[in-house]
Chain A
């Protein structure tokens, strides 16, 4: 039997078998941000340990930064203290840091691929569960906690239990109006929010192979919402074309040598999987969540479930009725952004819907690009003007209302149509706020209509 990408990368990065039975894995790339690292650096100082490979760690700031007024010091002293801590920690240990004044700053999972830091066959760790995103380029990427950030800084390695690999094959062509976001919401709805525990998800099949890297990033991003800590797509020509010329990608002839190694890290055609799941692309329609975890979604032409495990609690929180259509659900806020859907292609899809239209008068709509590079590229194309003309607010780059650690948040029981990744209770900053997850195009369509609509009916007019 052949090997999976996961197995090949695992073997290549194995330091040794630990006395506990776990594997010590070398971490090739470590990405850090302001929220999950200050305590890690403090622990190093207390123990008198240095950073082993400062040139393999890269820092940016994303979670807490305001998207309107970024002047320093921030109005929020707690946010200011966090950014100041990251600044001094990076300076003390010699870690490269793209701060707000850098055109490379942005959401950590957006800038890694964008800069070519993320590459096939790598092991990557970051103190953020959406690190699975980087698997879109064929990396094995782990979300970790703060003590593990400390351990990567100290040793450039981590202790892991072995992972099983579930192959998820999506064959066929996605219909117009059906996006990568809908594919991953469908996968999570089918396999459940804990279906992936103990597994890496390998996404393949003709629908995945036809996707751009941006789309694959969206799919891999939400692996963790299905319980899978790691998700990946085998590297192919799309991957190599994406990486060519990016600042941290190999240049010149080295790039060609890199391609041949990257190609060799892909799963063998006869690879041995622990499990295989097949989902026909034709069965997927635009999806919307109705509940309080990302597994609770339906197709936009479906009704909200009335029975089932956890349904009563979810509907009570969401203020929705079982048996009612999801279409027509009123919204108060529309958010295009987050590490799931804030790349240039996402903004283009949303802008295509918004162009020449007006946001409903009762809706507050904002677009938050994933990085300064995305922001600049979007402005070069005039997307900012399209959004502004339609009544969307155009903001600075960051995580923003995905988790509301900055001033962007829901109030009271507001309902948000959001292109982010989590509809947990209180996730968007109000303990009673309600989140409907959907694709950026669906968010834009909902912003215009003031309620959930089927983007396919809107697209026929654009």
Chain B
């Protein structure tokens, strides 16, 4: 069983922009490897080169654990390398307006929590962290809340995601193999496997 994750404590990092795709999080040339090792060094590599004050290059956010994002974060390619790169850099949770479905699933599969708050709340959190980057953020999955200094917001997290993180079943392999006879049963039943 994978570890139980009920809270994430640490500084935040504001990363502004809608529709930030996984090609930007980790450009395709870094997928040419047979392990995920070292991906953290290349997170947002091209965006950082184009933008010297990119949050991932800013020492003020160097210890960040909670990434604050806007809408449709992680769209595009299904490369798990994207959440892997964020996690290996040190990010343990993403808080944003919305996430692409595949990115959210890939993140859950490696124990990286993605939770949503409203656009106004993201803006409040980003402004707060920009003004005081050292502010400790506390994300509680159990209480469905995020506190930052005096600010406390309710987070929205899908029940299966919350459940998997709290119970440590986010690494799904074990759960999927629990009842393997039933899997075999379906294989015997579907006509294109059973034979027409």
Contact = CB atoms under 8 A, between A and B. Distances in A.
B193 interface: yes
Contacts of B180: 52, 155
Interface residues of A, number: 82
A19 B19 contact: no
B176 A82 contact: no
B71 A194 contact: yes
B32 A161 contact: no
Contact of B192 (A19, A78, A121, A313): A121
Interface in B125-150: none
Given A20-B164, A145-B109, A85 B34 contact: yes
B32 A79 contact: yes
Contacts of A28: 190, 192-193
A194 B99 CA distance: 9
A415 B135 CA distance: 43
A20 B46 contact: no
Contacts of A12: 189-190
Contact of B169 (A19, A161, A257, A310): A19
Nearest to B77: A129
B163 A21 contact: yes
A20 B169 contact: yes
A122 B192 CA distance: 8
B78 A144 contact: yes
B78 A431 contact: no
A425 B75 contact: no
Interface stretch (A36-44, A347-355, A448-456): A36-44
B59 interface: no
A213 to B, nearest CB: 18
B176 A194 contact: no
Contact of B173 (A39, A63, A150, A229): A150
Given A20-B160, A38-B35, A156 B183 contact: yes
Nearest to A399: B28
B120 interface: no
Contacts of B192: 28, 119, 121-122, 258
B109 A52 contact: no
Given A13-B190, A36-B80, A261 B23 contact: no
Interface in B71-122: 71-72, 75-81, 83, 98, 100-102, 105-106, 109-110
Given A16-B182, A155-B177, A309-B18, A227 B101 contact: yes
Interface in B164-196: 164, 167, 169, 171-173, 175-177, 179-180, 182-183, 186-187, 189-193, 195-196
A78 B28 CA distance: 13
B6 interface: no
Contacts of B110: 147
B160 A422 contact: no
B98 A148 contact: no
A193 interface: yes
Nearest to B50: A431
B191 A145 contact: no
B76 A161 contact: no
A151 B81 CA distance: 17
A422 B183 contact: no
B183 A404 contact: no
A227 B72 contact: yes
A157 B183 contact: yes
Nearest to B103: A145
A229 B102 contact: yes
A92 to B, nearest CB: 14
Contact of B101 (A76, A81, A198): A198
Given A15-B186, A194-B71, 6 more contacts: A20-B164, A127-B78, A148-B109, A197-B101, A254-B196, A293-B75
Interface of B: 17-19, 21, 23-24, 27-29, 31-36, 46-47, 49-50, 71-72, 75-81, 83, 98, 100-102, 105-106, 109-110, 158-160, 163-164, 167, 169, 171-173, 175-177, 179-180, 182-183, 186-187, 189-193, 195-196
